[in-house]
Structure 1
């Protein structure tokens, strides 16, 4: 891959990684308002605020990605190198540079730590308030409703931050486990997002139930082919 290629790849990777952090924090705040202030939700989360939050997330992500890209461009790479990774990750590229990378690492830890703790702090604070409100008046119906609203978001947050933290905060050198973890938060999590966020959709639930019933139907037929079809069809319905 040429230098223009890996710089472009790095820019968009940082852009969408930062954007994912900001949007997860915005979604956590949205759920906090919906559960803790349900009567004022429409006045707090008005269209103007939603547009402002999304626009701010995009602008900040573009600025951060541009900063890291410009800092990388000033470095020199002495010869052809092989990146032990499946994409041009910033940490892997810095290890191949023959220039001084102190400024790059300083910006990574400073800016990356601020984004991580800011976004994760908003998410954690939102769910602490949500938990406090729910447990103040315990009710099974209320707990199930809150879990229905927050379950999909919590699943994505756990996958994204769990694997990302394991790669960048608790690993000193790139290895096979780090690459697998990187696959989880760069490929698997975005692919699961539409599925996870659609679980509350009634049509998606009906389609899943239909698939499960068809699997049970074919399993019964394979185990006992003499079972009348009409009984199996009645079982499905």
Structure 2
């Protein structure tokens, strides 16, 4: 089974939209969003690390969040912008795997960091007198390092399992980056393989066929268990188009909004920003 398959060496990304009238407008819009994302997040990192008044656990975590957001957006937004000038983009098999791995890594890291930040706020509110003892610099660094170790492990496991599947037919990805659901749609359907095996009249032939596919069936079980956990949603004909819109929100828009949500409305950050811009003002 499958001895003469030709493995796909590259994929074609269809981009966000095929409507030519929208491409120029969307390019300008997303270029502006990406520019604001980089300026906002990198500016907050610089401000937090250069102002002694912001050297607290909360702002340390916020600086890490800004780093994750700027990195997360940089992984896919440049390709999104490039896609507005081409009908489709090619990306190598390895490049697709690397992009998915980095997207998964930064996405997982952000989820874990938000949980850490929730614990930090819980400690500050419920254990105020012990806050600085509990949330020591050493613990903060350990928590961030642990979140990255877990994120790297998750990205390696998930991406590794996905790209161990056989890709030997269609190579067009209906997305603007190598996201998990559209890539999975290109893998061989094991439902059809199972049906074919069950229709075999010889038990020996069934045994050999199952033995040949056993490793892939194991991967499928592990893969879909993880994928359902991350992308649990009803399937429909329009779900892929909806996924692209949702992806824009969490890969492009949210990294731009986080500095506004977490930092610019904060009184201490405003004071630090004025101090950096206007000179050394008394804190």
Q: TM-score, normalised by structure 2?
A: 0.49
> Which residue of 108, 112, 115 corresponds with 1:25?
115
SS at match of 1:93: helix
Could you tell me which residue of structure 2 aligns to residue 106 of structure 1? 221
Q: Please say if 1:200 is aligned against 2:266.
A: yes
What pairs with 1:77-96 in structure 2 (closer than 5 Å)? 77-96=167-186
What CA distance in whole angstroms lies between the structure 1 residues aligned with 2:183 and 2:227? 17
Distance change >3 Å, CA 203–CA 61, structure 1 → 2: closer
Cα deviations by residue, 1:80-127 (Å, 9 ceiling, x for unpaired): 42111121111211111116465455334544677x7xxxxxxxxxxx
Whole-angstrom CA distance in 2 between matches of 1:185 and 1:75: 27
The alpha carbon displacement at 1:169 in A equals 1.9
Aligned residues of 2:113 and 2:144 also touching (Cα < 8 A)? yes
- Return 5+ residue gaps in structure 2 as ranges: 1-90, 191-215, 274-283
Which whole-Å CA distance do the structure 2 matches of 1:193 and 1:59 have between them? 23
Give the number of equivalent residue pairs: 155
Residue by residue, what CA displacement relative to the aligned partner does 1:204-236 show, whole Å, maximum 9, x if unpaired? 49x9xxxxxxxxxxxxxxxxxxxxxxxxxxxxx
* SS across alignment from 1:96: coil
Aligned equivalent of 2:234: 171
- The alpha-carbon deviation at position 196 of structure 1 amounts to 1.3
Question: Aligned partners of 2:175 and 2:260: how far apart in 1?
Answer: 27
Aligned to 1:97: 187
Partner secondary structure for residue 175 of structure 1: helix
Does the C-alpha gap of structure 1 residues 63 and 195 become closer, same or farther in structure 2, counting only changes over 3 Å? same
**Over aligned residues, Cα RMSD in angstroms?**
2.6
Aligned to 1:76: 166
Alignment of 1:49 with 2:139, yes or no, is: yes
Contact 2:182 2:240 in 1 (8 A): no
Structure 1 residues 60 and 192, CA gap change in structure 2 (3 angstroms): same
Q: Rate the CA distance shift 1:106–1:27 in 2: closer, same or farther, 3 A.
A: farther
Counterpart contact for 1:77–1:99, Cα < 8 Å: no
Compared CA separation, residues 26 and 202, structure 1 to 2 (3 A): closer
Paired residues of 1:34 and 1:41 also in contact (CA < 8 A): yes
- Report the equivalent of 1:182: 247
Question: Using a 3 Å threshold, how does the CA distance of structure 1 residues 107 and 187 change in structure 2: closer, same or farther?
Answer: farther
Q: Flag the 1:51–1:112 CA change in 2: closer, same or farther, 3 A.
A: farther
Deviation of the 1:72 alpha carbon: 2.2
Question: Aligned residue for 1:59?
Answer: 149
Deviation (angstroms), 1:202? 5.4
Report deviation, 1:9.
0.4
Give the Cα separation in 1 of the matches to 2:270 and 2:217: 50
Please give the secondary structure, in 1, of the residue aligned with 2:173: coil
